Chains A and B, each alone.
Chain A
């Protein structure tokens, strides 16, 4: 693997998260298959590099299996990195010891995809929100107040009435607000939101997205928003990173990507997003059939087997991200 073009500069004070050639490889097929040399290595994340400045909101966009969720988990140290490094506030994640993990957990938080699953059904809302406070050693007397404040932050009306309720007594929109409140209760600097509205009904999605935007701006959060839906990413993020089979295809300002996608994969992705407007004309998709197979990616450029513009060089050489205007694009066409 060659060195990626944008190397880390942890000295820059405004960079909060710095990812350098991050890899998450794991063997599938179990220990016995590994012994016989029969296991396959799945490269969920394969040489990804990017920096996130403080206060920036970045969308991680891609189809299922592209590694966006794995990337998010790496950023939160929920998965052990198998290559490269991630720095958070100048500190390398893999060097964080068990004892310091608590302090990291209070700074970097996750908003879950499925609110119906993210809260223990046996826990009341009060118990749910008290857990992080307890772990952070916040005295009991202060907890109630912080819980109410965090529920107010996510715009749950009359928060006190929810404290003794159990998850099944709340609607999806309310639950997702509780999930957000739990993530924000320790006042983190960095939040990863993993498709936070995909399980919600359409009419309440907008409310949750608005709360997310509002809270982020108010607290000056640095945020990663993981989604397969460019329209949603566009609504909350000024910058978008497009991933495909564990690698970055394109990285740049969201508006530029929406209006003039450069990478052939991004082009297909933008063209495929359905639009709620009946008069919108649709061009045929500029992409081949088939689906990405993480167990068996093509050589060279991982997208080449579906790419309409693939040529000989794409099979031979992995395209490295290159600056094109305001963006980085990993394609031999640029």
Chain B
């Protein structure tokens, strides 16, 4: 395959992925937006007004970056996991497997398609959050950098989940029992300063904590952890996941008999 042919294959996968989540927008775009708006109303406006400040910020301004990041994480993950597993289930993944498209293009195509949904929902939520909270961007490069890397990382993780999944239960177990707890305990709603020393240290093994804090730093200029360390962690996780996912596709694990 020439580079131009590879580019065409890549664009085809991305276009199909975007078309898929736009076609079923009441299932893919609307629910996360409604959920996040409810979070803003309850935790931001109703309860948040009684909480006061968190890390020197009004509570709604504190939770807003976390909520935006939460929507990016869950949508990046769930898009690829349902799309890739759906293709396996309907066997139309074979359309790609019989083609000369290299595995790394298949991987990038699905991941970028999924990032489009994660970032798209993140953008909508950001726009809506402006209705509830006033905030300015402290550092645009950090904000954009961390949101892109987070979306990339969870898209890769979602794809790995989809490759291993044998049934629909398998694609809901990880989001329910791993992703949701990690997100809720990842400093979206509170600062880890509130936790004791022991639990603060335990929290440091949660990758979501780094992403939320780096994103919060990009927007509000405050963070519980070192930003360079946060970028390094997310970058390292993404790299490991990329090579694991690529290896699975190259070997045809759970895809070819």
Instruction: State yes or no: do A and B come from one complex.
Output: no
Residues of B within 8 A of A (CB): none
A residues adjacent to B (C-beta < 8 A): none
